[in-house]
Structure 1
Amino acid sequence: MRSAGTARKAVETLKAHNHLLEPQLAAGEKKPAVTCQSGNKSREWWEVHPESDSSFLAD
């Protein structure tokens, strides 16, 4: 997805259908930054629900 808005809508849909979860963090703890395929750092990431059919990741 090339647009941040489109990506965020897709993430919200996947979260609404319990495919993605917010990571469990201690109170006051920020999400650690991760390195994207582009090499950029981002704090926007989620966990795949362990019981999810993760076939949506096949792309």
Structure 2
Amino acid sequence: MGVGVEPVADVANHASVITGFDKNTIFVNDPYGYKNRKVPRKIFEQIFTSLGSQSLYLV
């Protein structure tokens, strides 16, 4: 199964998997080799919004 993501403007996109969160931090596995990378929630929300609030989840 493949998933295609259209580029947003001229931004190089990639996907990260959210592995956890708390009140101030989102933890992600980033394809650049970071596991459980800590991203401040405010920064994560700014990036998420700037990229069109796109998300994919599997149940």
TM-score, normalising length from structure 1? Answer: 0.24
Structure with greater contact order relative to length (CA < 8 Å, sep ≥ 6): 1
Q: Which has the higher helix share?
A: 1
Q: Which has the higher strand share?
A: 2
TM-score, normalising length from structure 2? Answer: 0.24
